[in-house]
Structure 1
Amino acid sequence: MQKPFIVDAHLDLSMNALEWNRDLSRPLSEIRQREMFMKDRPDRGKGTVCLPELRKGRVGLVVATQLARYTPPGSALSGWNSPQQAWATTQAQLCWYHEMEKLGEMVKITNLNQLDAHLALWDDPTVADDHKPVGYILSLEGADSLVDIDYLHAAHTYGLRALGLAHFGPGRYAPGTKMEGPLTSKGLELLKEMNALNLILDITHLTDQGFIQAMDLYQGPIWASHHNVRKIVPNQRQLTDEQIKLLINRGAVIGGMLDCWAMDIRFIDTISDPWQLDIRLEHLVDHWDHICQIAGNTEHIAIGSDLDGIFGTEQSPWDLNSIADLQKYEGILERRGYTPLDIENIFHKNWLRFLRKAWS
């Protein structure tokens, strides 16, 4: 009997491949071994994501990002010193996805026909999962690299289908996480062009003011690719109950993320230990439960793990060794009283329903 099919709506695959110099086509044990003596990043030797592990966990469709932030003078955040450098970085990331396609490791999904063909392949038990490509929908996390509006059209032409205006810190189109304030004039102009292209707007990382503006102004499809609940983890990065209600009313889906600091308020980056704090996969279900109580159903929650978002096992639930362990949620959710249909909704049906409506 096949394991359930999973859609993960947020992975920074190309950034990991290029900036961390990880060959994600190789087994996870090999990637970790190569990093055994490297000390430049906290997650060296502790990565949780690679293409073989995605296939092992039947995570057959992902929303995969391009990500390159512009850092203005005076900002303490890392990033590129010009939008043109940021754009060039996203193009290198795009090239990596194309190389994975040439190897048969991945396949780009940009429309319903491609989506249906890909799902049929993953539903075919006569083809071994380890011979199936991982499908990816291309998303841009933070719009800084779009030098101007013409670059948005170029990105749409090469397959971009989702876009978030902000990331961390100040942004050319919108301030992001740990900031305050509204969308910039460039951001308002960008939303208009996104409307014309029917791109999916990812509201993740927006400020509270920017969130309200985007919800009011954008007429196209909206999702929250990787977000948890502010009632449980009270910081600006998470969604308030009012924001959750607005998203539900728009038919949005909210992807739960597995970064420990977004799951448990006690966790402090580079200091805390998930095992000592007993932060487990089940902690995310508390966030899902809260959204379900507001929605009255399980049709607005799903997975947006962010498992390779500049962290590894040192900042993931202690009962997760790799992204293949997303399959553990079947048993966890059953024990928490979720029905088989609820679990299908969370694993893949909610994201697929959203895409069918957005792309119809």
Structure 2
Amino acid sequence: MVTKNKPLILDFHLDLSMNALEWNRDLTWSVAEIRAKEKGMTDKPDRGNGTVTFSEMRAGNIGLCVATLIARYVKKSNKLPGWNSPEQAWAQTQGQLAWYRAMEEKGQLVQITNLAGLDSHLQLWGNPTIDTPIGYILSLEGADSIVTINHLERAYEQGLRAIGPAHYGPGTYAQGTDATGGIGVKGKELLKEVENLGIILDATHLCDNSFWEAMDCFHGHVWASHQNCRALVNHNRQFSDEQLKELISRNAVIGSPLDAWMMVSGWERGKSTPRSTRLSLESMIDHMDHICQLAGNANHIAIGTDLDGGFGTEQCPADLDTIADLQKLPNMLAIRGYSQDDISSVLHGNWLRFLRRAWE
């Protein structure tokens, strides 16, 4: 299925390969088929509630995304789930990359690494067919799998174009959500090479100390692919107004995610439901609005859903069944007073302008 006469949407954070290899989801299936296959399974909290497949992306005219590699290395003292050595984590990302390559061979995906490829892809999506591949920009969520700086250079040659130094907990190159501390010598060495290679720094998940240290030493292009506002939901995973203003001053774009506990206050995992908390896509716009008020314009907000990033319909807006329902946003934004130009900027324009600036 392909959708005509609907605006192009860019989603700047999807864990596609994680779902394929760790959740064992064949994204060439329909959402209904995957949900039926997972009925009764309990090994993951979102079983039977997935929202993302290639067909649903096409139905929503989501022709381009940032797709991740993700593999956490955990030291012996770290109780979080993950791999016990950086080499194992690197190998996991290489397996994920192999899946992306397989999807390219199948015609489902095409990797975008430069402006020529971006322009060619956008031209295809001006009039897509059922066979038009979905574009993806490769990003690494959490840098612990980068065994040495040489591994970063190898990843760049493989198409890596964005990197988030941290994920959850303590990391090798930075400290992430629920952790504290700076980036240290290794983090500074990593960011120096990230800047040299022209890789985009993804500030998402950096704890406060690591965020400010990274901002002090990194002078390249930075975005936050999936990040909401601490002023609306008070948690260290969110960014404060001061952090958001820093990103705005650097011409960053901030993608809004759809994980319930980041969108509304008081969410209790396993107890709260989207309907009991009145969680809807309007909550996403609330966070976008807050950033617009800080910026004085709509040039820094965008979409970075993180859909199926360990959660599904049990923990996302009640008015979203699949990722295709992002097409509800244009009308909702218009009702909230956004101009047509601003709506286009939110759906794709802000991300595209950022990429053109970063890759020129």
**Range class of TM-score, shorter chain:** over 0.9
Correspondence for 2:348? 348
Question: What CA distance in whole angstroms lies between the structure 2 residues aligned with 1:202 and 1:328?
Answer: 27
The amino acid across from 2:200 in the alignment is I
The amino acid across from 2:219 in the alignment is Q
What do the CA deviations read for 1:280-306 (whole angstroms, capped 9, x no partner)? 111111111111011111000000000
Question: What CA distance in whole angstroms lies between the structure 1 residues aligned with 2:255 and 2:238?
Answer: 12
Mapping 1:1-360, distance limit 5 Å: 2-124=5-127, 127-128=128-129, 130-360=130-360
Conservation of the 8 A alpha-carbon contact between 1:42 and 1:270? no
SS in 1 for 2:190: helix
What do the CA deviations read for 1:37-60 (whole angstroms, capped 9, x no partner)? 211111001001111101110010
Question: What CA distance in whole angstroms lies between the structure 2 residues aligned with 1:6 and 1:301?
Answer: 13
SS in 2 for 1:54: helix
Q: CA deviation at 1:184?
A: 2.8
Question: What CA distance in whole angstroms lies between the structure 2 residues aligned with 1:144 and 1:184?
Answer: 14
The amino acid across from 1:10 in the alignment is H
The amino acid across from 1:266 in the alignment is G
Question: What CA distance in whole angstroms lies between the structure 2 residues aligned with 1:32 and 1:81?
Answer: 32
Q: CA deviation at 1:270?
A: 2.5
Conservation of the 8 A alpha-carbon contact between 1:8 and 1:61? yes
Question: What CA distance in whole angstroms lies between the structure 2 residues aligned with 1:265 and 1:177?
Answer: 17
The amino acid across from 2:115 in the alignment is L
SS in 2 for 1:131: coil
Conservation of the 8 A alpha-carbon contact between 1:181 and 1:207? yes
Conservation of the 8 A alpha-carbon contact between 1:177 and 1:237? yes
Conservation of the 8 A alpha-carbon contact between 1:230 and 1:236? yes
Question: What CA distance in whole angstroms lies between the structure 2 residues aligned with 1:96 and 1:267?
Answer: 34
Q: CA deviation at 1:138?
A: 0.1
SS in 1 for 2:12: strand
Aligned length: 357
Question: What CA distance in whole angstroms lies between the structure 2 residues aligned with 1:245 and 1:75?
Answer: 33
Q: Which ranges in structure 2 are unaligned for 5 or more consecutive residues?
A: none
What do the CA deviations read for 1:68-100 (whole angstroms, capped 9, x no partner)? 001111222100000000000000000000000
What do the CA deviations read for 1:141-188 (whole angstroms, capped 9, x no partner)? 000000111100000001000000000011111110001110132111
Q: How much identity, in percent, do the aligned residues show? A: 56
Q: CA deviation at 1:277?
A: 1.1
Question: What CA distance in whole angstroms lies between the structure 2 residues aligned with 1:210 and 1:290?
Answer: 23
Question: What CA distance in whole angstroms lies between the structure 2 residues aligned with 1:67 and 1:26?
Answer: 23
Q: CA deviation at 1:335?
A: 0.9
Q: Which ranges in structure 1 are unaligned for 5 or more consecutive residues?
A: none
Pick which of 98-107 and 73-82 moved more.
73-82
Question: What CA distance in whole angstroms lies between the structure 2 residues aligned with 1:60 and 1:279?
Answer: 26
Question: What CA distance in whole angstroms lies between the structure 1 residues aligned with 2:91 and 2:280?
Answer: 38
SS in 1 for 2:120: helix
Q: CA deviation at 1:219?
A: 1.1
- Structure-2-length-normalised TM-score: 0.98
The amino acid across from 2:197 in the alignment is L
SS in 2 for 1:161: strand
What do the CA deviations read for 1:22-44 (whole angstroms, capped 9, x no partner)? 00011111111110121111100
Question: What CA distance in whole angstroms lies between the structure 2 residues aligned with 1:227 and 1:40?
Answer: 27
- Structure-1-length-normalised TM-score: 0.98
SS in 1 for 2:281: coil
Question: What CA distance in whole angstroms lies between the structure 2 residues aligned with 1:112 and 1:281?
Answer: 32
Runs of 4+ in structure 1 off by over 3 angstroms are: none
What do the CA deviations read for 1:314-339 (whole angstroms, capped 9, x no partner)? 00011100000111101111111111
